[in-house]
Amino acid sequence: MMFKSLFQKNKLYIIGAVIGAISGFAYWKFIGCQSGTCKITSSPLNSTMYFAILGALIFSLFKKEK
């Protein structure tokens, strides 16, 4: 019951993070950094985490305050 309430309160953050993570992994896989010198896109973990955080922040813009 606690997790359901937690999910309901943070639904947009979670959805944004999941979409961002998928986008980050896809960006690394298909575009990425060929030379390996890019800090964010040279590693799948870095790219996925960066885009997940970015997705959560962008989706938080749509949250309505009560």
Of 31, 21, 7, 25, nearest to 58 by C-alpha is 21
Measured between alpha carbons, how far is 31 from 41 in angstroms, rounded to an integer?
A: 9
pTM: 0.82
3-state secondary structure of 18: helix
User: 54 falls in which pLDDT band (50, 70, 90)?
Assistant: very high
Task: Please give the pLDDT value at position 1.
Answer: 66
pLDDT: is 61 or 5 the higher one?
Answer: 61
pLDDT: is 48 or 36 the higher one?
Answer: 48
Q: Where are the beta strands (DSSP E) in 1-66?
A: none
Measured between alpha carbons, how far is 15 from 64 in angstroms, rounded to an integer?
A: 15
